[in-house]
Structure 1
Amino acid sequence: MNSLGINYGEKLIFSTGNIMSINDIIKKPSQSSTQELIEAINFTLKENFKNGDSGEQHLKVISRVDDTRQKIQENGVDALKIGLKVFLTNDNEENLKDALNTALSQQLDVSNVSDVIVSFKKQTTDDLDAIKKIWRHLESYVEKKVVGEIGIADVEESTFRSLYNWAKVKPNIIQINLATCCVVPPTLQAFCKENDLKLFTHSDSSDILPSQSITDIFEKPLDLQWAVRYTIHIKCRGVLITKGYCLCFSLK
């Protein structure tokens, strides 16, 4: 047990719950997604520490009581746009499956979501074979009607075109980080317009939670396997009502 009062198992699942209910985060709307996530984790750890440790030998789950499921029930799934962004650290399709199942079943308790966007760490960003490996698995969720639309973040235009031409289930969404690409290429804009694709910009780091930040937070070197951010909007008004993160760590 470390000074945070946590008995670490071989696997750690972490859920921040609805971070829009955390005042310290709401007051800092301009902070980066990494800073936001670090604050949410620290807040959740403090709450978990108060509640005591209930870990099992090979699996530890850390979460906090929040209103995510209540808000979904109050508004009804059909009236909501539920989106997931999955941050992957490698091309292991089991990690994608684990991330989506954790978000859908354990956190949100829903049978389907509107869209899923995948983001890879830099070393995998333009590895088309690695992307295809994950994409094949992602396609199955669309075919089973668990996911409505699928997309990808931060790949070169040539990689995106190759993925689009190869894919059985075409990507509907591409996200471009303006921190690394200050102007969206006109050729990419034209390609998206011709194929009726959604082109969005964002400011997320592909390394959503750096190794040093993990060690600083947990007082122990852990490997981040995946992270999922979920956002829930009311369709008719476009109002964001819930936002949160689920993460999976393993011992180094």
Structure 2
Amino acid sequence: MTRIVLSTGNIVTAGPSIIRKPGTSRSNLELTNSLRSNFQAAQQDYAASPTSSNGNELHVQNNGHQVNGNGRPDIDAWTATEDSVLYVPRIDWAAAGLQEGRAQYEITLKLFFLPSALVEKRREYIDEALQLVMKELQIEHIDLLIVSFPGISFEGDCEWQADKINATMGNDDEEVTTWSALESLYEQGKVGRLGIAEFGTEKLQRFIERVKVRPAVDQINTKDCCSVPPPLVKLAKSEGIELLTHGDCTDILPSGTLRELLGHGAQGAGVLADDEHAQNGLQGNLIPEWVVKYTAFVNYRGVIENKGYFAGAELVKV
């Protein structure tokens, strides 16, 4: 069994981006494209194998690492293993951190628990994701942590139908149990505010009656139902919960997508073995577990300075 952590690095590449209202479409393209781009950039740091005068590729050492026959550097050239975790790509922690003092930023995390992951390991996922972001930004606390549970969406022909369907989604007991781990972070001062995603009126009402620390934010997507249901607006207002919208994909990293990203296809990173490259890559069943999106917003300038993703997965040998 191998733990794998994937990262995009800072995807704000052309200077800080201006804050804009969320888009209307939900997609995981930002995540997948950013991961793919970061993989390729890391591989390019170890230039492709040179060719001989007749055009044949030479298998030579490059920066001390063997280049394989398809032009990619060996896996250990651009990835790193630390504390039994494989980082894809390797991360230069020395270059991490924000440009200004911590007080200048509003830092938000959104943690997605994926459907293929074990519910009983969610506390571990929370700790792992939070520690990675804190290490990447070199901070000791975040301002807002929003959690997205699997199997919950806010979709329907109208806002009333979406709200009604939403009430039957997810698993209340599992969500409340997971929330207790987040409450611990809040009580320790590591998280300033807690939030949830895709909770309609009935589901939100049941939830706040069972938790100790009530969510400060409920983030929903209204693309398919036009507007926020009035009962939800009323409940949120009475409970002091801020309603936000988003454009995130509910199942942000399916197993097939992750395998394609790490496989030997034209746009894959060549980390996982396949039938044609059985001896060139890692073998096993790949299980996506969580994704965290982080954003560092510079308060006084109204811009995003740092934005990126981490993703955790398990490779289980068969």
TM class, shorter-length: 0.7 to 0.9
* Residue from 7, 12, 17 that aligns with 2:4: 12
Task: Tell me how far apart the structure 2 counterparts of residues 119 and 181 of structure 1 sit (CA, whole Å).
Answer: 19
Relative to the length of structure 1, the TM-score reads 0.84
- Specify the alignment match of 2:112 in structure 1: 87
- Aligned 8 A contact 1:96 1:134 in 2: no
SS in 2 for 1:75: coil
**1:226 has 2:290 as partner:** yes
Letter aligned with residue 150 of structure 1 = L
Select 1:188's aligned residue among 219, 224, 232: 232
Measured at CA, do residues 82 and 207 of structure 1 come closer, stay the same or move farther in structure 2, by a change above 3 Å? same
Which runs of 5 or more structure 1 residues have no equivalent in the other structure? Answer: 1-8
Q: Mark the CA change 1:117 to 1:191 in structure 2 (over 3 Å): closer, same or farther.
A: same
Distance 1:33 1:77 in 2: 31
Separation of aligned partners in 2, 1:22 and 1:223:
33
- Shift in Å at residue 222 of structure 1? 2.1
- Number of aligned residue pairs: 238
How far 1:14 sits from its partner (Å)? Answer: 1.4
Could you tell me which amino acid in structure 2 is paired with residue 200 of structure 1? L
- Provide the aligned C-alpha RMSD in A: 2.8
Structure 2 match to 1:61: 87
The 2-side partners of 1:189 and 1:100 are apart by 30
Residue aligned with 1:21, SS: coil
More helix by share: 1
Structure 2: 5+ residue runs without aligned partners? 46-76, 154-168, 264-271, 273-284
Judged with a 3 Å threshold, the aligned counterparts in structure 2 of structure 1 residues 13 and 215 are, in CA distance, closer, same or farther, namely same
Q: Deviations over 1:83-116 (max 9, x none)?
A: 0000112432221222112222x32221001000
CA–CA separation in structure 1 for the residues paired with 2:94 and 2:13: 8
Of the structure 1 ranges 214-223 and 239-248, higher mean CA displacement relative to structure 2 is found in: 214-223
Name which one, 1 or 2, has greater alpha-carbon Rg.
Answer: 2
Partner of 1:116: 145
Structure 1 segment 23-102 matched on structure 2, within 5 A: 33-51=27-45, 52-56=77-81, 58-63=84-89, 69-70=96-97, 72=98, 74-89=99-114, 90=117, 91=119, 92-102=122-132
The residue number in structure 2 matching 1:179 is 223
Deviation per CA, 1:2-39, whole angstroms, max 9, x where unpaired?
xxxxxxx701111211101179x99xx97854101111
CA–CA separation in structure 2 for the residues paired with 1:150 and 1:141? 9
